Amino acid sequence: MPEFSSLEYARMQDAGDELASFRERFLIAEPDLVYVDGNSLGRLPKAALELSRELVEQQWGSRLIRGWNEGWLDLSTRIGGKIARLIGAGTDEVLLADSTSVNLFKLSVAAMRARPGRSRIVTDALNFPSDLYVLRAAADLCGGELCVVPSEDGITVPLQALRFVMGDDVALVSLSHTTYKSAFVHDMRAVTAAAHAAGALMLWDLSHSVGSVPVDLERAGADLAVGCAYKYLNGGPGAPAFLYVRRSLQEALQNPISGWLGRDDPFSFSPDYEAASGLRRFISGTPPVLSLAMIEPGVDLVLEAGLDRIRAKSIQQTEYLISRWEQELRPLGYTLASPRDSAQRGSHVALAHAEGQRLNDALIERWNVIPDFRPPNVIRVGVSPLYTTYTELHGAVQALKSLASGLG
């Protein structure tokens, strides 16, 4: 048996990995690059590369405006229906549109207006900055305020702390399910139940969960959700985002960006707005067909591999990283800035270091290792089980080690 910290051990793990063949389904343009940033931008599926030519040349080039009646108009709900299977939603509860930030704005304003007499939105300090800005803007617009629950350790926010501020003035609770910096995963069921007990609606940002951490919105009783497609779904840079509205809420909520494609019978070109029934009212304008279509190959790969297997490998790989940190990186000044318990951790490992920024830059420039850096001192090492190898993770640890000990 090779030593745990050896390259041979990492190679042995790769040889025994039942998801290993999925790596071949992605373009690996630089075989020596250690890419541990799939939690920011996923790799390019080969099927998307093939599709891109067909989309541009055949669909746009040849079919021209006829394309709208040949599938373009349904792309958003059809691919949304596939994403629904990854997050425990019905196929009529998810659609793709706009960016995560815009979807968050639409749903948070809609939620505030559906709870008249209540003025507060509750979130936590671990939420993504864009979410904090958008939620604050939504609260302002509706004459309310945003309450941001702090994190004592910068890694977690306990349910108790959230519950403490959930009074009868709270209209909406909105959190990232897996938080972007520490990868802390909230207990979706418990937090949603607490929000409901306070009479508030619950909105989840699934950007760092979808495609890597199993989610069951229906079982949790969640009301609303948003999330992006360019991380673990490998949908491409700036890919359109998705939104979820629980079926029984759809008729009660109004999209504040009431554009023509969210109207009932948009092709009546009527000057008056009348919301479409169901989820379609949350579409505002013309869908970005090329970007939307490019999301499907990545989603198909996740469905084919299965979230259970993806999650199992993700836990094994983040555990591998943490064990190596314990033995080799901790003595060099790295601290673990992610939860130690895998049940509370998403698919990346955050390592803090006093010289985090310098180390991160050197990893990229000198070692051909791409993680990412989040101020003030956190290096995030992302695991994307469909293509991340143990050999890559070994390379990342070796580089982190050499740099911090002044050898690299």
Residues that bind ligand PLP (CB under 6 A): 99-101, 128, 130-131, 176, 180, 205, 207-208, 228, 241
* DSSP classification of residue 272: S
Nearest of 16, 43, 9 to residue 312 by alpha carbon:
16
Pairing of strands 348-352, 335-336: antiparallel
Catalytic residue among 17, 98, 205, 372: 205
Burial state string for 23-50 with b = 16 or more CB within 10 A and e = fewer than 16: bebbeeeeeeebbbbbbbbbbbbebbee
Closest CB to ligand PLP among 26 and 230?
230
Residues 6 or more apart whose CB falls under 8 angstroms from that of 90 comprise 84, 218, 247
**Least distance (Å) between residue 227 CB and ligand PLP:** 8
**Least distance (Å) between residue 76 CB and ligand PLP:** 15
**Least distance (Å) between residue 338 CB and ligand PLP:** 15
Q: Please, is 162 exposed, middle or buried when counting C-beta atoms within 10 Å of its C-beta (0-12, 13-18, 19+)?
A: buried
Pairing of strands 335-336, 224-227: unpaired
Nearest of 402, 35, 45, 392 to residue 234 by alpha carbon:
45
Q: Where are the beta strands (DSSP E) in 150-304?
A: 170-176, 201-205, 224-227, 241-245
Q: What is the DSSP string of 9-68?
A: HHHHHHHT-TTGGGGGGB--S-TT-EE--TTTSPPPBHHHHHHHHIIIIIIIIIIGGGGG
**Least distance (Å) between residue 201 CB and ligand PLP:** 18
Q: Is 163 a catalytic residue?
A: no
Catalytic residue among 22, 128, 184, 282: 128
**Least distance (Å) between residue 128 CB and ligand PLP:** 4
**Least distance (Å) between residue 132 CB and ligand PLP:** 10
CA angle 201, 206, 212 (to 5 degrees): 145
Closest CB to ligand PLP among 99 and 344?
99
In single-letter form, the type of residue at position 354 comes to A
Residues 6 or more apart whose CB falls under 8 angstroms from that of 79 comprise 96, 292, 293, 295, 296, 299
Q: Is 187 a catalytic residue?
A: no
Query: Token match 């959230």: residue?
Result: 162
Q: Is 205 a catalytic residue?
A: yes
Closest CB to ligand PLP among 10 and 162?
162
Closest CB to ligand PLP among 96 and 201?
96
Closest CB to ligand PLP among 167 and 285?
285
Closest CB to ligand PLP among 291 and 377?
291
Q: Is 124 a catalytic residue?
A: no
Closest CB to ligand PLP among 10 and 241?
241
* Local structure of 262: helix, strand or coil: helix
Catalytic residue among 82, 231, 313, 345: 231
Catalytic residue among 184, 230, 242, 390: 230
**Least distance (Å) between residue 179 CB and ligand PLP:** 8
**Least distance (Å) between residue 184 CB and ligand PLP:** 12
Task: In whole angstroms, give the CA distance from residue 77 to residue 97.
Answer: 9
Instruction: Give me the residues paired with residue 35 across strands.
Output: 370
Closest CB to ligand PLP among 372 and 392?
372
The tokens for 173 are 């609770």
Catalytic residue among 23, 345, 380, 401: 380
Q: Is 244 a catalytic residue?
A: no
Query: Token match 């009868």: residue?
Result: 168
What amino acid positions are annotated as catalytic residues? Answer: 128, 205, 230-231, 380
